Chains A and B, each alone.
Chain A
Amino acid sequence: MGLRDLTERALNLANVQGATYADIRIVNKVGQSLVVKNGIVEAIEMSESRGFGVRVVADGAWGFASSSILSPGEIERVTALAMQIARASALTRTSPVRLDKPRAIVDTYETPVSIDPFSVPLEQKIAHLLQADEAMRRVKGVKVTESSIECLRIEKVFASSEGSFIRQTIVETGGGIECTAVGEDDVQKRSYPNSFGRHQGTCGYEIINEMDMPGHAGQIAEEAVALLSARQCPSTVTTLILGATQLALQVHESCGHPIELDRVFGSEASYAGTSFLTTEKLGSFRYGSEIVNITADATIPTALGTFGYDDEGVPAQRRPIVRDGIFVGYLTDREHAARIGQESGGAARADGWNRIPIIRMTNINLEPGTWTFEDLIADTDDGIYMELNKSWSIDDKRLNFQFGTEIAYEIKNGKMGDLLKNATYTGITPEFWGSCDAICNQDHWHVWGTPNCGKGQPGQVAHVGHGTAPARFRNVRVGVMK
């Protein structure tokens, strides 16, 4: 039985049993993961996870069921279970589920790839990682080294009772290196090119070649060791310049999550919380200074949050979130967009066949400004430059945050000064973005992949992107740790 027949079976059964809406997603996810640690290839893993999930609206409420067994009989069982679950949900229903306009889209989408990451021989990948690992271990004082490559191919079929049938193949490739230096009473870590283990994109193996991990390994190892004897970041209020990767994390936590409209409506209250960006603020709330422009854009080539269609079959889009400092847009799915009289922004994403689509970030970007990085430093009399995230925490309305970075430098009289360790900074989201007075230009702008965004119960991990360039913030409290 072909995929189309299987999806039709589920949709027909749901229709016969009284569903007012139904969709089915069949997903096959294949991954390859390599980790070299301390000169030893500690892990090579191939993984495959396939299955399907059926989502229905019945009696005005949602139901979802999923299974790893893709057979006609199991599709019938799971569809019936989804209907049973929807009717159970209706026991507490206050108003029926309403979706935005129906869509009947038949299409295919494939991630453009220069080098298929699965076609690159394992030996080549291993050699690449060992080369980076060796370069880090050559530096005296480095205790632990780790380097990794991840490759992913996700084949998805989406079919809905509204007539959509969409096939997508998403390919992702990523990699990273990190090293830890251990001193008498201190441990310091450096990573490249991003924290959270790696940088990743919707692209092929070309990203591994471009990031040149072996070429940067020696430098981060030297920095990790140097951090052991570096000065502690002072506790003060000062001018802060954030590097691009740390800004990616800043955008992620203080903008990306609070603009999820389901979070605004309380859907995540029992887990990571709600949002300060309540709906009456849309269109008028000053989120940041006039130079702050933020967009949600799922169409950027090679970015990690890029796709053809979201998991409700809505086309990928670019939408403004913050324009000239004013909050103007949310991330939306079909249900929540309808609640505020809009059409879906195409941000419903599911972490595999066994999870429902929920509102997730795509690529949430701080649009580039006008400064060169060199001019920005030269223009700063006194401050601190921080780069690459080490720790991150934010309250359950996304207001009070405290972030730490792997590395920092003092800025004195327009020049980079002493190396600083254990750098942290803290603030309140709109005050912080309101203090932004300079953003670097397109030449310094890059979309960073964040492959570890968690949300939902049961938990879902999303792969998202953030385009950022270094930016400057005034009067920021730094050096929080005693």
Chain B
Amino acid sequence: MLGESKAKTLTRQVLSYSKADQTEVVLLAEDSGLTRFANSYIHQNVAESNAEVRVRVVLGKKIGVSTTNDTSETGLKRVVESATTIARFQQENPDFISLPGPSAAYPSVTAFVEDTASATPEQRAKAVAVMCKKCIAAGVIGSGALTTAVNEIAVANSLGTSAYFATTRADINTVVMADTGSGYAEAASLDFNSLDFEAMAEEAVSKALKSRNPVTLQPGDYTVILEEYAVADMLAFLGFLGFSAQAVHEGRSFMKLGEQVVGDNVTIWDDGLDSSGLPMPFDFEGVPKSRLTLIEKGIARAVVYDSYTAGKEGKTSTGHALPAPNTMGPLPLNMFMATGEHSKEEMLASTKKGIWVTRFNYTRPVHPLKVVVTGTTRDGTFLIENGELAKPIKNLRFTQSYLDALSRVEMLGNSARLVTGFLGSSCVPALKIGAFTFTGATQF
């Protein structure tokens, strides 16, 4: 781990090598270990130490970016020179206004837990062994991955921006396979010690045992109860496809500000400062984050901006820039969905006929504008009859507009779970949805 002093010294050093009109440096450092298990033993076990320096140089309206992980003086001089050379050969970008100026103060977010930072391979292996033993005892097969990591980010630019943040992360996911069933559990935290590996194993093992001997169910429209893992996927696609100013600008977003886009019981926001998620107090341009309501009671309220998209529209960045160069646009990486009043047991008890879904698998957009997504269910799918889990069913394929689904939310869970996905992390409740379209079935 570099630490704030060394990280900021390094960013200052990089800036001192540049004679450009504007220069930005982003330092991303990681020290991580990942212990992976399959067939109830550790089969892959790795560690990584890396520090990447990303330099954006601006000459007038010409921009060049270069990255390196050679942090020697020679390497840093070379990366500045490379970015400058690129900028010289670049064409002018008339939409570029400026790098962001300095912020008065950065919100204070504590996200560093020493016990996570110092977690050893032996500690990870012992935690995994707890889970493997539970699987072996239950006669099922355990697999999963446990990560502990320290991530540091330092952002500085020639306009005076200077920000540093260090965070720890511990996350575990497990898939447990019985002869004809499977179960899943995952958890993430800043604190390694807060992860309950016994409980994770219990959740996945009991689901695997319960889902044995699944029967075939005809595809069609069903009421569903989606566990938090599946709901997190819905938020990720909403964020990826629609919550960015660039997506709106390019006409590929469903977000029409002020209009109802999902049901009035759905509220979604992004908050990089909330430590119940995996916080990050500023973006990759050093712009501070704050809570931003994206959908309020079903009505589209805001989309996220970086300095480039904000500059195009004469607005202010919301602190959602990705590392430059970024042609995808800004994205929300810390989403939350408002909880409701019901437990999952109450959702189940209220359902005469429906399907219980643990999680989705391999989801991909079919029609991005309507957020129509296809994927399959996985690791515990059950038929609900008369308020009870009647029997496990073979996995189903769905082809469903997530917007339409979120317009038919009948019950929201009374607690939220932190789930990591392809778009950062999100804290979401379980949902009961009145109708969800399954278009196919698989053989297991």
* Alpha-carbon distance between A132 and B333 when the two chains are bound, in angstroms: 33
B69 contact from A51, A63, A121, Cβ within 8 A:
A51
Q: At the interface with chain A, which of B13-21, B124-132, B287-295, B410-418? A: B124-132
Q: Does B190 contact A (CB under 8 A)?
A: no
Q: Does A126 contact B (CB under 8 A)?
A: yes
Q: Mark A389-418, 1 if CB is under 8 A from B, else 0.
A: 011111111011010100000000000000
Contact B38 A41 (CB under 8 A): no
* Alpha-carbon distance between A85 and B367 when the two chains are bound, in angstroms: 45
* Alpha-carbon distance between A65 and B173 when the two chains are bound, in angstroms: 21
Return B204 CB to nearest CB of chain A, in Å: 10
Contact A126 B91 (CB under 8 A): yes
B interface: dominant SS: strand
Which residues of chain B in 34-73 are interfacial with respect to chain A, using CB atoms and an 8 Å cutoff?
34-52, 63-71
B362 contact from A122, A396, A458, Cβ within 8 A:
A396
B341: chain A residues at CB < 8 Å are: none
Contact A42 B325 (CB under 8 A): yes
A5: chain B residues at CB < 8 Å are: none
Q: Does A91 contact B (CB under 8 A)?
A: yes
Q: Does B311 contact A (CB under 8 A)?
A: no
Contact A404 B366 (CB under 8 A): yes
B121: chain A residues at CB < 8 Å are: 63, 81, 84-85, 88-89
* Alpha-carbon distance between A447 and B63 when the two chains are bound, in angstroms: 35
Contact B90 A354 (CB under 8 A): no
* Alpha-carbon distance between A398 and B141 when the two chains are bound, in angstroms: 20
Contact B442 A399 (CB under 8 A): yes
* Alpha-carbon distance between A312 and B63 when the two chains are bound, in angstroms: 40
A92: chain B residues at CB < 8 Å are: 37, 40-42, 125, 128-129, 132
User: In chain A, what residue has the closest Cβ to B43?
Assistant: A267
Known contacts A61-B42, A187-B368, A400 near B443 by CB under 8 Å: yes
B368: chain A residues at CB < 8 Å are: 187
Return A480 CB to nearest CB of chain B, in Å: 5
Number of residue pairs across A and B with beta carbons under 8 Å?
269
* Alpha-carbon distance between A51 and B41 when the two chains are bound, in angstroms: 29
Q: Does A9 contact B (CB under 8 A)?
A: no
Contact B68 A89 (CB under 8 A): no
Q: Does B375 contact A (CB under 8 A)?
A: yes
Contact B366 A396 (CB under 8 A): no
A270 contact from B64, B122, B129, B173, Cβ within 8 A:
B173
Q: Does B217 contact A (CB under 8 A)?
A: no
Q: Mark B369-392, 1 if CB is under 8 A from A, else 0.
A: 100101110100000000000000
A45 contact from B33, B46, B65, B363, Cβ within 8 A:
B65
Contact B69 A68 (CB under 8 A): yes
Contact B124 A88 (CB under 8 A): yes
Which residues of chain B in 382-425 are interfacial with respect to chain A, using CB atoms and an 8 Å cutoff?
395, 397, 399
Contact A50 B175 (CB under 8 A): no
Q: Does A47 contact B (CB under 8 A)?
A: yes
Contact A44 B39 (CB under 8 A): no
* Alpha-carbon distance between A422 and B370 when the two chains are bound, in angstroms: 12
B125: chain A residues at CB < 8 Å are: 88-89, 91-92
User: In chain A, what residue has the closest Cβ to B42?
Assistant: A89
* Alpha-carbon distance between A62 and B38 when the two chains are bound, in angstroms: 13
Q: Mark A353-365, 1 if CB is under 8 A from B, else 0.
A: 0111010000000
* Alpha-carbon distance between A392 and B374 when the two chains are bound, in angstroms: 8
Closest 8 pairs (CB-CB, A-B):
A43-B325, A400-B442, A182-B251, A88-B121, A88-B125, A269-B143, A270-B143, A457-B145
Residues on B lying within 8 angstroms of A by beta carbon are 32-52, 63-71, 79, 82-83, 86, 89-91, 93-95, 120-122, 124-126, 128-129, 132, 141, 143-145, 147, 173-175, 177, 250-252, 324-327, 361-369, 372, 374-376, 378, 395, 397, 399, 437, 439-444
- A selection of 22 A-B contacts at a CB cut-off of 8 Å is A42-B93, A43-B326, A45-B325, A48-B69, A49-B68, A50-B69, A68-B69, A85-B33, A89-B43, A91-B122, A92-B42, A93-B42, A187-B252, A265-B39, A267-B38, A267-B43, A270-B174, A274-B177, A356-B44, A396-B378, A424-B374, A426-B397
